[in-house]
Amino acid sequence: MPMSDDKHEAARLELFFEAARAHPPEPSAALMAAVLRAAETGQPAPRREPLLARLRDAFGGWPALAGLATAAAAGVWIGTALPEGTIGAAEAGYLVDVAPELAFDLAGDF
């Protein structure tokens, strides 16, 4: 087949492609409604998880929450436990500002 025949046939096909582009097919309203109805029925129902489950997942699960609780308990313990042997006059003055109810216990006999 010579090259001129290929070009001629491509030109004839292009006429058909132009006619198809000029009048693109559009789906009917009934078809679109049926497709949307099928899509809505195929969607899963939204799950409602309890607040504790959502918080657990947000922090990374039970192991992460256990570590967080341990760190919080250690922080409270370290923050409230007073070292007995290292309190001098300067530290006692600072602790009195922080916890005035301990002023008489820390003052001792100066």
Query: Are residue 70 and residue 37 in the same domain, yes or no?
Result: no
Query: Are residue 26 and residue 62 in the same domain, yes or no?
Result: no
In this prediction, residue 33 has a pLDDT band, given cuts at 50, 70 and 90, of very high
Q: What is the mean pLDDT of the chain?
A: 79
Cα–Cα dist 93/89, whole Å = 6
| Domain limits for position 26 | 3-42
- What separation in angstroms does the CA of 9 have from each of 5, 12, 15, 18, 46? 6, 5, 10, 14, 56
Query: What total of structural domains would you count in the chain?
Result: 2
Please determine, for residue 110, whether its predicted confidence score (pLDDT) is greater than 80.
no
Query: Are residue 91 and residue 56 in the same domain, yes or no?
Result: yes
Query: Are residue 71 and residue 30 in the same domain, yes or no?
Result: no
Query: Are residue 84 and residue 102 in the same domain, yes or no?
Result: yes
Please determine, for residue 37, whether its predicted confidence score (pLDDT) is greater than 50.
yes
Query: Are residue 35 and residue 79 in the same domain, yes or no?
Result: no
List, for residues 3-12, the tens digit of each pLDDT value. Answer: 567 778 888 8
The residue ranking higher by pLDDT, 82 or 1, is 82
Cα–Cα dist 96/103, whole Å = 5
> Do the beta carbons of residue 56 and residue 65 sit within 8 Å?
yes
Query: Are residue 19 and residue 63 in the same domain, yes or no?
Result: no
Query: Are residue 78 and residue 96 in the same domain, yes or no?
Result: yes
Structure tokens at 95: 């602790």
Query: Are residue 36 and residue 81 in the same domain, yes or no?
Result: no
Specify the pLDDT at position 43.
Answer: 86
| pTM of this structure | 0.35
Specify the pLDDT at position 1.
Answer: 47
Query: Are residue 26 and residue 69 in the same domain, yes or no?
Result: no
List, for residues 47-84, the tens digit of each pLDDT value. Answer: 888 998 998 999 899 999 999 999 999 988 888 776 66
